[in-house]
Amino acid sequence: MPNLVLVSFLLGLSFALACNAATYLVGDTSGWDISTNIDWWAQDKTFAVGDLLLFLYSPSHSLDEVTKDGFGSCNTSNVLRTFMTGNTTVLLISPGSRYFVCGNKLHCLGGLRLHVHVQGNQANSPVAAPQAQPQPQPRGSTQPSFKNNNPVLISAGFLDRGRIQV
C-alpha cells in the first residue's frame, strides 16, 4: 500500500508540473551511449523541478543514480537507484544536484555519466525583462536558423512504462 501511495503522489506531481515541464532526451538521438559526448550534450541545458530526463540505452548499458562521490570515481558499489530497462524516465522533483552513471565502470570512466543541477520550480522563477525588438534584415541576407537545443515542451500526458503518452 505505501508503494501505491508513493506512485499516486509522483503521478499527481508529474501532472501538476507538466504544464511547465520540459522533457530532455539524454544524448539526443544518440541516447545514453558510450559514443555520445554527454558533457557536451548537457552544457547548454538548464534543468528545473518538474522536468523529465529520458534515457534510452541498449542492454549493454545500465543507468545508476549515485552520490557525488560515486560520480567522481565511477563507483557503483553503493547506488541510490539502478535502472536496466533501456528506456528510463527520471522526474526531477527537487532542486539540487543529481548524478547518473553507466553501471559498467569502463563506460563511466569513458564519459558515460551525467551531472544534473536542478534549479527551483519554473513557475517560481522571476519574469525576464522584455527583449529588444530584432532589427530588420536587409534583403538577400542570411536568415537566422531556427534550430536550437531547447527541450521539447509538454503540456499534458502520462508515463506508460517510461514512454510519454498523450
pLDDT digits (tens, 9 = 90+) for 108-164: 999 999 999 999 865 544 444 444 444 444 444 443 333 344 444 443 444 444 445
Report the pLDDT value the prediction gives residue 48, as an integer from 0 to 100.
Answer: 96
Report the pLDDT value the prediction gives residue 19, as an integer from 0 to 100.
Answer: 56
Report the pLDDT value the prediction gives residue 134, as an integer from 0 to 100.
Answer: 43
User: Across residues 24-32, what is the average pLDDT?
Assistant: 95
Report the pLDDT value the prediction gives residue 21, as an integer from 0 to 100.
Answer: 87
CA distance 51 to 49: 6
Give the least confident one: 4-18, 25-39, 96-110, 117-131.
4-18
Q: Which three cell numbers stand for residue 154?
A: 509538454
Q: What's the pLDDT tens digit per position in 39-75?
A: 999 999 999 999 999 999 998 889 999 999 999 999 9
Taken in order 79, 45, 32, 121, is the CA torsion positive or negative?
Answer: positive
Q: Are strands 87-91 and 81-83 parallel, antiparallel or unpaired?
A: unpaired
Q: What's the pLDDT tens digit per position in 69-93?
A: 999 999 999 999 999 988 999 999 9
Domains belonging to the chain, first-starting first, are: 19-123 (2.60.40.420)
